[in-house]
Amino acid sequence: MIRITVDGEPVQGREGQTIAGVLVGAGRTAWRTAQTGGRGVFCGIGVCHDCLVSVNGVEGVRACRREAVDGDRVEREVRP
């Protein structure tokens, strides 16, 4: 089991899962704010960039491609 935080809230996942896998597994569907509302995973393989998050202060990380590491701080990105 691993624990990450998403906008400060703790979320549990399984070791080896991608960040998108952890979030979807925890029942979350939207974790980015786009012009038209919330977005989450769409293509799941790194093509569409809908699932971007900040991870430990680094922006623009595709949640579907990055393996989650225990203690990761994941934060929402907002597009004005």
Return residues touching other proteins (CB under 8 A). 14-18, 20-22, 24-25, 29-30, 34-50, 52, 58, 60-62, 64-67
Q: How far is the CB of 3 from other proteins (least distance, A)?
A: 16
| Torsion-angle region of 46 (φ positive above 0: left; ψ -120 to 50: alpha; else: beta) | left
Closer CB to other proteins, 5 or 46, in the complex: 46
Residue 75 and residue 10: Cα distance in Å, rounded? 12
| Torsion-angle region of 17 (φ positive above 0: left; ψ -120 to 50: alpha; else: beta) | beta
Q: How far is the CB of 64 from other proteins (least distance, A)?
A: 7
Q: How far is the CB of 43 from other proteins (least distance, A)?
A: 5
